[in-house]
Amino acid sequence: MLKIKLARFGKRNQPHYRIVVNEAKSKRDGQYTALLGQYVPTQTPKILQLDLKAYELWLSKGAQPTETVAALAKRAASKTPFPPKKPRLSKKAKAKQAAEKEATAAPAPAAEPEAPEVVAEPTPANE
């Protein structure tokens, strides 16, 4: 049975993958029947190149993609495979922003006239 899977290449902590058609029981990085593309997740921006026509051809011949390859093929078929992430604020920055918003939204209360203090007079003890 043929599988469409990732073959890992590259140095330690710097992987890049080839998307290949291979026998299901053969080695991950061994010889392969066909090369369909490549995937480099460690580069910025990520690189995903996949020959979709060849991929569909191998699917029609009965090759089964792995879950990862199927997900990558779906991404490759879309217009933007890896959309840019929206920047997020850190917890510290969020707290600072909330404090500033609270300070500007709630103005300081107006000064109220103070009530005179009541002082209790001491009572004589045992007279």
**Residue 120 maps to a domain:** no
Number of structural domains (the chain) is 1
H runs (alpha helix) in the chain:
52-60, 67-77, 91-105
Calpha distance 36→17 (Å, rounded) = 11
pLDDT, the chain, mean: 85
**Model confidence pLDDT, tens digit, residues 3-58:** 999 999 999 999 999 999 998 888 888 888 899 999 999 988 888 999 999 999 99
Domain that holds residue 69: 2-77
**Is pTM, for the whole model, over 0.75?**
no
Non-local (6+) Cβ contacts of 56 within 8 A are none
Calpha distance 66→11 (Å, rounded) = 23
Residue 42 sits in a domain of what CATH number? Answer: 3.30.1320.10
**Residue 26 maps to a domain:** yes
**Residue 39 maps to a domain:** yes
